[in-house]
Structure 1
Amino acid sequence: MKIFYCADIHAAETTFRKFTNASKFYGVDMVIYGGDFTGKMVVPIIKDQRGRYKCTYYGSTVVLKNGSELPDLEKTLRECGFYPVVFTEEEYDRLTESDADRITREQQIKVMEAWIKLADARFRKNNIPCVFIPGNDDDFFIDPILEKTDFMINGDNKVVEVKGYEILSLSYGHPTVFKYPRDISEEELSKKIDDLAAQVKNMSKCIFNIHVPPYDTYCDQDVQYDENLNPILDGGELATGPVGSKAVRQAIDKYQPLLSLHGHTHGSRGVSKIGRTLAINPGSDYDSGMLRGAIIEIDSGADVRYSLTSG
């Protein structure tokens, strides 16, 4: 069995299209996606009375002299995981906070509907099963869209069997300072995993697909933030440390699945052995157009080999 796993595409168009072609490119038997489809923000492109367009992203301001350059700018923003929306100066000045929330939601829904349709068609064409979940950063209003697939499998909060392996999947995460839509308490997260684990018939052929990584491993190291979302400094440097879930770590210790796949912590591209379980976080570099992933090969004796990929 040869599996390709990735996570955390966050609305980046080029990265997403690479994901939909990954099964054919890597020649795998199955694809697993570990959550976080949606982007984090809308980038306004403001048209002034002289017909120029201006927007600011990554701290830089871009000014276009005419509309012929607009498609290229919109493409660049989509490739970075932003949602570009054009406003006149008057429209932009009238926007309220509730307008901003509504527009972001509309853009997330619009992109997800197009993405799911495209991905479902490509995986069907290649006849490669894909089990996917949203992530804790994805709001619940995208869930009805994720149920529209005819070929891909939304595994969230389920145990599904594919090609002789049981895949236990969960989108929820533990509490974070960022208060993502699917953040729940460690106790609730533990119960959800326990309820799913009770459905597994054979842990030696079970794959955990849980968005957040296990605590204190090579899969969960990241910058530390205080409750005001400011990065914590240690001797003038950014303080780093474990940010994963203790409930997920305890579940892996307890159930010892064959394999445990995680995303969420983009910069913690790493692999840890927890008892007999191999835990992998391939990391994410979505805004550069890079698809980071992992290829996992499982032989008939349940030996697991892996390689981390970038492309």
Structure 2
Amino acid sequence: MLITALSDIHGSLEALNSSKSLLSDLASSDLVLIAGDITNFQGKTQTAEVITAIRRHNPNIFAVPGNCDTAAVDEYLREQNINLHCQTRKHADFTLTGVGAHVPCSRNDQACSLEEKLQVCLDHIAEMSHAENNLIFVAHYPARHTAVDSIGDNHHGGSWNIRDFIEQAQPLLALSGHIHDAPGTDHIGRTTLVNPGSLRDGSYAQIRIEHERVRVHIGCIKKRWREHFGYGIT
């Protein structure tokens, strides 16, 4: 299976439409996965613009919302039946699941940490995806202390609970975003970790899975409008 992986689009239709190589990759892929931050703190209108632009080239899209996506983005993805957040979906011979950035607190006082909120969803999908061999996991936040969550000077911006889930579930592929400046790959056990980088900054990934082998190519769109955000976390 050939996957085009996108993340941190931040509503940039120019990034989506400016590269012939990206549009060709979208059209030739079996599946498009989006690891959050579809918008830049916008709602359904901007989400629909981005998803519609991608659908012109490939209708097979699944996504999770990011921390720069509002609750309306999560709702739109659910309405379109393409939201992987706390859900499982079947595509071809693969099971898809994921966790986004909008997770309700499991306690009434709402005083949960981010890790506690993520764990609510991770526990749920662990039950649903138990013993799945061909599992693909999509999260906005990357696994902690890996090459795909590095923010420089030996600092990391990922999630320990997401790392624990990957260590236990061992999906074939774990796709994440959030850290703009750490596009690339890493491994946890048999799992290939991929951060495609920020599409608004000109980065995306092509991923081919054959016979449980995962090959990754990070594509780069060189444009004068590429932007970076501090350490690359937005």
**CA deviation string 1:208-267 (max 9, x = no partner):** 0011000100000115xxxxxxxxxxxxxxx45111100011111111111100000111
Q: Name the aligned partner's letter for residue 160 of structure 1.
A: R
Identify, as 1 or 2, the structure richer in helix. Answer: 1
Overall identity of the aligned pairs, in %: 27
1:196 is displaced (CA, Å) by: 0.5
Change (3 A) 1:120 1:214: same
Listed as ranges, the gaps of 5+ residues in structure 1 are 41-107, 175-182, 224-238
Q: TM-score, normalised by structure 2?
A: 0.79
CA contact (8 A) 1:269 1:281 kept: yes
Q: Structure 2: any 5+ residue segments left out of the alignment?
A: 104-111, 222-234
Asked if 2 retains the 8 angstrom alpha-carbon contact of 1:134 and 1:171, the reply is yes
Partner of residue 48 from structure 2, selected from 89, 99, 116: 116
Instruction: Please name the residue that 1:6 is paired with.
Output: 6
| Structure 2 match to 1:249 | 163
SS in 1 for 2:151: strand
Cα 1:140/1:204, change in 2 over 3 Å: same
Counterpart mapping for 1:1-311 below 5 A:
1-17=1-17, 22=22, 24-26=24-26, 27-39=28-40, 108-109=42-43, 112-116=44-48, 119-120=51-52, 123=55, 125-126=56-57, 128-149=59-80, 153-172=82-101, 184-200=113-129, 202-222=131-151, 239-284=153-198, 286=200, 288=201, 290=202, 292-299=203-210, 301-311=211-221
Letter of the 2:188 counterpart: I
Cα pair distance change 1:276/1:293, threshold 3 Å: same
Code of the aligned partner of 1:11: G
Pair 148,308 (structure 1): closer, same or farther in 2 beyond 3 Å: same
Task: Give the Cα separation in 2 of the matches to 1:146 and 1:188.
Answer: 20
The C-alpha deviation readout for 1:149-178, integer Å capped at 9, x for no partner, is 3xx61222211111221111111279xxxx
Could you give the per-residue CA deviations for residues 95-153 of structure 1, whole angstroms, max 9, x where no partner exists? xxxxxxxxxxxxx23xx415415634752x5454110121122221333333443xx61
Q: Which moved more, 1:277-286 or 1:185-194?
A: 185-194
Aligned residues: 212
TM-score by length of 1: 0.61
Give the root-mean-square deviation of aligned CA atoms: 2.8
CA contact (8 A) 2:4 2:25 kept: no
